[in-house]
Amino acid sequence: MSDSEIRAKNGPPQTELTGEIPLQVRFASLQAQTRRHFLRSFTAGVGSMFLGTLASQFAPPVKAAERGIDGTPRLDFTRDPSRPLSILPPQFTPRAKRIIYLHMAGAPSQLELFDHKPDLNKLDGQECPASFLVGKRFAFISGVPKLLGAQYPFHQAGKNGQWMSDRLPHLEKHIDDLCLIKSMRTDQFNHAPAQLLVQTGNARLGYPSMGSWVIYGLGTENQNLPGFIVLVSGGNQPDGGKQLWGSGFLPSVYQGVQCRSHGEPVLYLENPPDVSRPLRRRMLDAVDEINQQTYAEFGNPETITRIAQYEMAFRMQMDATDAMDIHKEPAAVLAAYGANPAGSSFANNCVVARRLAERGVRFIQLYHWGWDDHGTSAKDSLNIGFADRCRETDQPIAALLTDLKQRGMLEDTLVVWGGEFGRTSMRENRNGQVMQFIGRDHNPGAFTIWMAGGGIKPGMSYGETDAMGYEIVKDPVEIRDLHATMLYAMGFDHRKLTYSFQGLEQKLTSVKPARVVAEVLA
Amino acid sequence: MTFSVRQVPCRLRLGLLALAPILLLSTLFAFLPPDGLERAAWAQFIGRFHLLTVHFPIALILIAPVLEWAGRNPRFPYLRSSVDFLLALAMLSSLVAATLGWCLARSGGYSGRLVTQHMWGGVSVAAACWLCWLLRRYFRGPRLDFIYILALLAAVGLVSWTGYRGGQLSQGENHLTEQMPATLRKLIGFSVRSQILPRSNPAYFYGAYVEPIFVGHHCYSCHGPEKQKGRLRLDSYEALMHGGKDGPVVKAGNVKGSELFHRVTLSPSDDDAMPPQGKRPLASNEIKLLELWIAAGASSTLPANAIKDAPTTPEPVVAEVTFEEIDPAAVAQLRAPLAREVAQLKQRFPDLLDYESRGSANLVIDASALGARFGDDDFAAVKPLSEQIVIADLSGTAITDRSALLLAAMKRTRVLRLTNTKITDATVLALGGLDRLESLDLYGTSVTPACFKVVERLPKLRHLYAGATKIPADVPVSEDMKGKLLF
């Protein structure tokens, strides 16, 4: 038989069977290597190097373990690399399918909103007890500060008589829908690390945000929009920067996409003048082809991510513009939110949040900057700036809740409101001086957040602070507990939503044991 | 008749002499019993080998009757010839095991009925072996053989019982029946887990609030009739006031000086904390109750309502969520019947539907992201799966009343969203059979109050969203519907 006859009989030569390790396996093997592997394999002398080489030759390719550290089967989050955002079922029956997180950047004062402390009001102006200062670090307070009572009157609202101040008249109508957690605690007392802790479960850079974890775990239904969208208002980016919605070590397709409610939703999303949609398509096809070649060569899934991102941007040109365009809302709706399509505002972002929720976006993150009321200037004071922030957010949040409730979406939307820490029971005295405006310093020891909707018990309050509102005396909730509770609502055991990186099964709640706050679950 | 040692044959004397160590051990047991105190660590160390050595005599005693029985077969008569040796060995090894056991019990802080029974059981096993050995070796004959068989069976029974008590000692009282399947339990009439209930009069503070704390925290398992760690019993008022090895644990009127109060208020990670590490600590109201009771004189006859402001309503136990374990094989089996249809539909509409969870075969369909691109004809593709769907979101799609039949066939649906669609009353009127429907969302449709005829009869319905419809907010509805109707 000639060569050609053999080929005809056996088909084309089978290159896959020549001992090539599949790309994914090779990549997984490289990713599983840590510095320790390196040191173990290649230290101390030629002998161990020789043995190390031998060992690595005969070792089987590293395969992702099917069982976690606790011996139970690991959840599989692998997807078709070209569709990294496709939906996956949650671990168990979820109570919520999407999250709207309203982060009040700068940390609003719980003592002016929800944490009613009549005893503190009585002691207003007195020197704070020494026990408040022992072993504490403050951002600015120095010497012996004076106690500061609430700056606004409190009253009871709703069926369960929840205490709240007069600053949130619109939200008050929804007080029976909210679950207040008055015993939140953090271990960070500066904005950027504290915001990182709230958003990524870790005070250091480089960890995936909760939105990234959620869309990594569940994917998103609408492939024409990002699954995790971020909207910023208040005139400034939050101090934690864009890392707050970064994807850390997760593939970057899971990072949050920052959009705008005014003008182009995503900068440079529109085609430039004279570039038509078919022309754009042809350009993308060419780029995709080059990227496919790169992937075939290196096997890095980030290349696939890149292709998927280009494709999504192409689809977004149509859908995102429509979703973000609040001109399409009736005037009555815009008025209810206090939104003005001509500018950009938190109110506009709340309208957009609802439109995105309706379109199947999984995680919608709003930041409103400007709550850092130290009392250094009028706009950073409890008596002026704080009241403005309340006015800017109160009506839109209430309107958002109304809209969600009316459309039946509060059933499966988890809404979370909160800052990154609390504020002190003492008036800030920067450099030991009495300041012109009234303010409070950072207090990581206690703050209030609220949750509403999907799977959360409405009309309740959880946890207690002491008579001065300074420290927690009952049912403390750590940030990781909040994360565990949110993931529970989304249908996950927080210990099972993991990603192997640097020799750890990484998870949102990090390594310390976290607790699902079962008491606040409906 | 006189009896003298000289009449006994020389070799039998040796046999009788073997009783001496058994008697010696018994004396030891009688005069130095385990008393709940901890002693030298080396004695405990040696004692731990009891758990290893104890299985040797057990096996020997159990094998002896087997050899006797099998040896009756003319093919292996030789089996019976080793039984003498086995019995002697069983006696010796049970003596060793019993001695080690005593070391463990005496120095390891054991006391109580269970350990006493186990200890005397052990020495009785040695005695029974000795008796069997003596009978078999020196007293043969048709009638004596019968006695030997009885003695052997007694030894087997004794070793089983002693072993069982030993198991209870180390593994817990109900170690054999703990995991018994419920069906088997029912079959043999085995009572479902017995529980020690408070017995004191609940008209008094002690019986009403103090004793239930001990019961609720399983204190009796270590400080009760069976075991008395630190020689402390808590299962009666008298025992509690008597205290443990270091004296009383409750000093009437002296909260700070009461060891009991001190121990339960230690940090759970403290070595001395009670209940011990890993067990649920006392709740704050339980600690308060103990404090108030001791401060008020720790009397057994203090009336239950004597202390004002006592936190008598139990705090809810810290709620824990549980996570179901997913068995992939079972899930695959559950999904198998419709797996092909699901795969096909996923191929056609990616991200349209998926399973409700990783452990379930229920389906969730959400077409809202497809919007107007999804119409009646597309929806018809779902038909083979209609019975599996539990949540359906068709908001903003182009479906019309033509899909009513398919919607009506989705009998297991819990949540149905039809907001901003062209459906009318006709569709809603077809939904009468959805007896599991909990939430029906008709926001933004043109339904009218006429649809109440069916909606009112949906047994599980909790929410009907009727905003932006032709149903006016002040529509007269039944009292029952009033709470469900949302605008």
Confidence at residue A134, expressed as pLDDT on a 0 to 100 scale: 87
Among residues A440, A513, A432, A455, the alpha carbon closest in space to that of A480 is found at A513
Q: Which residues of A touch B318 (CB under 8 A)?
A: 518-519
Evaluate the CA torsion angle A236, A240, A242, A245 in order and state its sign: negative
Q: How many CB atoms lie within 10 A of CB B78?
A: 9
> Is B337 within the bounds of a domain?
yes
For residues A323 and A291, the answer to whether their CB atoms sit within 8 Å is no
> Is B424 within the bounds of a domain?
yes
Confidence of residue A213 (pLDDT cuts 50, 70, 90): very high
Q: How many CB atoms lie within 10 A of CB A442?
A: 28
For residues B374 and B367, the answer to whether their CB atoms sit within 8 Å is yes
Lowest mean pLDDT among A38-52, A99-113, A330-344: A38-52
Q: Is there a single domain that holds both residue B216 and residue B168?
A: no
Confidence at residue B197, expressed as pLDDT on a 0 to 100 scale: 54
Confidence at residue B7, expressed as pLDDT on a 0 to 100 scale: 63
Q: Is there a single domain that holds both residue B349 and residue B477?
A: yes
Asked whether residue B119 carries a pLDDT value surpassing 50, the answer given is: yes
Task: Find the mean pLDDT for residues A209-220.
Answer: 96
By DSSP bridging, strand A363-369 and strand A440-443 are unpaired
Task: Find the mean pLDDT for residues B375-381.
Answer: 94
Comparing A25 with B371, which gets the higher pLDDT? B371
Confidence at residue B345, expressed as pLDDT on a 0 to 100 scale: 92
Instruction: Tell me if chain B has a CB within 8 Å of the CB of A457.
Output: no
Comparing A178 with B274, which gets the higher pLDDT? A178
What confidence tens digit (pLDDT) does each residue in A191-210 have? 999 999 999 999 999 999 99
ipTM reported for the complex, 2 dp = 0.83
Q: Is there a single domain that holds both residue B280 and residue B406?
A: no
Q: Is there a single domain that holds both residue B134 and residue B177?
A: yes
Instruction: Tell me if chain A has a CB within 8 Å of the CB of B441.
Output: yes
Q: Which residues of A touch B351 (CB under 8 A)?
A: 86-87, 219-223
What confidence tens digit (pLDDT) does each residue in B454-485 have? 999 999 999 999 999 999 988 888 888 888 99
CA distance A366 to B347: 34
Q: What chain A residue is nearest to B440 in terms of C-alpha separation?
A: A408
Lowest mean pLDDT among B38-47, B113-122, B423-432: B38-47
CA distance A396 to B220: 58
Structure tokens at B208: 């009403």
Confidence at residue B142, expressed as pLDDT on a 0 to 100 scale: 76
Half-sphere exposure of residue B473: CA atoms within 13 angstroms, side-chain side: 5
Cβ of A406 within 8 Å of Cβ of B443? The answer is: yes
Q: How many CB atoms lie within 10 A of CB B65?
A: 16
Asked whether residue A348 carries a pLDDT value surpassing 90, the answer given is: yes
CA distance B418 to B440: 8
Structure tokens at B316: 């809810």
How many separate helices (H) and strands (E) can be counted in chain A? 13, 17
Cβ of B351 within 8 Å of Cβ of A94? The answer is: no
Domain boundaries, chain A: 12-58, 98-265+325-520
Q: What chain A residue is nearest to B328 in terms of C-alpha separation?
A: A73
Q: What chain B residue is nearest to A362 in terms of C-alpha separation?
A: B369
Cβ of A93 within 8 Å of Cβ of B395? The answer is: no
Q: Is there a single domain that holds both residue B168 and residue B229?
A: no
Domain A98-265+325-520, architecture per CATH: 3-Layer(aba) Sandwich (3.40)
Instruction: Tell me if chain B has a CB within 8 Å of the CB of A357.
Output: no
Cβ of A87 within 8 Å of Cβ of B396? The answer is: no
Asked whether residue A245 carries a pLDDT value surpassing 90, the answer given is: yes
> What's the predicted TM-score (pTM) here?
0.68
**Side chain identity at A518, as an amino acid letter?**
A
Cβ of A221 within 8 Å of Cβ of B368? The answer is: yes
Above pLDDT 70, what percent of chain A?
90
CA distance B193 to A300: 57
| Residue of B321, B334, B393, B394 to mutate, testing the A interface (most A Cβ within 10 Å of its Cβ) | B321
Question: Any idea what the Cα angle at residue A303 is, between residues A300 and A306, rounded to 5°?
Answer: 150
Asked whether residue B167 carries a pLDDT value surpassing 90, the answer given is: no
Q: What does the DSSP assignment read for A112-131? A: GTT---HHHHHTTTSBPPGG
Nearest CB neighbour to A406, from listed B357, B395, B465? B465
Q: Is there a single domain that holds both residue B238 and residue B135?
A: no
For residues B272 and B281, the answer to whether their CB atoms sit within 8 Å is no
Confidence at residue A19, expressed as pLDDT on a 0 to 100 scale: 54
Cβ of B369 within 8 Å of Cβ of A406? The answer is: no
For residues B77 and B95, the answer to whether their CB atoms sit within 8 Å is no
Asked whether residue A233 carries a pLDDT value surpassing 80, the answer given is: yes
> Is B21 within the bounds of a domain?
yes
Structure tokens at A423: 């504020």
Confidence at residue B314, expressed as pLDDT on a 0 to 100 scale: 58
Q: Is there a single domain that holds both residue B339 and residue B418?
A: yes
Q: Which residues of A491-508 are buried (b: 16+ CB within 10 A; e: fewer)?
A: bbbbbbbbbbbeeebbbb
Instruction: Tell me if chain B has a CB within 8 Å of the CB of A219.
Output: yes
Q: Which residues of A touch B465 (CB under 8 A)?
A: 406-408
Element (H or E) spanning A157, and its range? strand A154-157
What confidence tens digit (pLDDT) does each residue in A471-481 have? 999 899 999 99
What confidence tens digit (pLDDT) does each residue in A114-150 have? 999 999 999 999 999 988 898 888 889 988 999 999 9
Cβ of A407 within 8 Å of Cβ of B443? The answer is: yes
Helix ranges (DSSP H) in A112-266 = 118-122, 191-200, 210-218
Cβ of A493 within 8 Å of Cβ of B323? The answer is: yes
Asked whether residue B238 carries a pLDDT value surpassing 90, the answer given is: no
Q: Is there a single domain that holds both residue B174 and residue B209?
A: no
Residues constituting chain A? 522
Above pLDDT 70, what percent of chain B?
93
Q: List, edge to edge, every strand of the sheet that includes B363-366.
A: B353-355, B363-366, B389-393, B415-417, B439-441, B463-465, B485-486
What confidence tens digit (pLDDT) does each residue in A364-389 have? 999 999 999 999 999 999 999 999 99
For residues B101 and B54, the answer to whether their CB atoms sit within 8 Å is yes
Count of domains for chain B: 3
Q: Is there a single domain that holds both residue B160 and residue B219?
A: no
Mean pLDDT over the full length of chain A: 88
Structure tokens at B228: 């008395």
Q: Is there a single domain that holds both residue B128 and residue B35?
A: yes
Among residues B444, B487, B432, B450, the alpha carbon closest in space to that of B469 is found at B444
What confidence tens digit (pLDDT) does each residue in B205-230 have? 888 888 888 887 778 878 887 777 88
| Residue of B355, B364, B374, B471 to mutate, testing the A interface (most A Cβ within 10 Å of its Cβ) | B364
Among residues A368, A421, A483, A416, the alpha carbon closest in space to that of A195 is found at A421
Nearest CB neighbour to A359, from listed B324, B358, B369? B369
Q: Token match 């003498």: residue?
A: B84
CA distance A490 to A322: 27
Confidence of residue B1 (pLDDT cuts 50, 70, 90): very low
Q: How many CB atoms lie within 10 A of CB B474?
A: 7
> Is B305 within the bounds of a domain?
no
Instruction: Tell me if chain A has a CB within 8 Å of the CB of B487.
Output: yes
Q: Which residues of B touch A493 (CB under 8 A)?
A: 323
Asked whether residue A17 carries a pLDDT value surpassing 70, the answer given is: no
Confidence at residue B315, expressed as pLDDT on a 0 to 100 scale: 55
Size of interface A-B (CB pairs under 8 A): 93
Residue B394, domain CATH: 3.80.10.10
CA distances from B396 to A358, B199, B364, B399 (A): 9, 64, 17, 9
Task: Find the mean pLDDT for residues B41-45.
Answer: 86
What confidence tens digit (pLDDT) does each residue in A44-64 have? 555 666 665 565 555 444 444
Nearest CB neighbour to A408, from listed B318, B360, B463? B463
Q: Token match 């006189």: residue?
A: B2
> Is B412 within the bounds of a domain?
yes
Nearest CB neighbour to B465, from listed A75, A87, A407? A407
Structure tokens at B400: 């019309």
> Is B308 within the bounds of a domain?
no
CA distance B451 to B231: 73
Q: Is there a single domain that holds both residue B156 and residue B231?
A: no
Structure tokens at A34: 């840590």
Confidence of residue A16 (pLDDT cuts 50, 70, 90): very low
Asked whether residue B52 carries a pLDDT value surpassing 70, the answer given is: yes
Cβ of B323 within 8 Å of Cβ of A92? The answer is: yes
Q: Is there a single domain that holds both residue B173 and residue B260?
A: no
Q: Which residues of B touch A93 (CB under 8 A)?
A: 356-357, 360
Confidence at residue A203, expressed as pLDDT on a 0 to 100 scale: 95
For residues A197 and A429, the answer to whether their CB atoms sit within 8 Å is no
CA distance A391 to A406: 23
Instruction: Tell me if chain B has a CB within 8 Å of the CB of A298.
Output: no
CA distance B164 to A479: 49
Structure tokens at A490: 């989304």
User: Which domain range does residue B470 map to?
Assistant: 328-486
Q: What does the DSSP assignment read for B238-274? A: HHHHH-BTTB-S--TT-STT-HHHHHHHS-TTSTT-S
Confidence at residue B193, expressed as pLDDT on a 0 to 100 scale: 46
Instruction: Tell me if chain B has a CB within 8 Å of the CB of A325.
Output: no
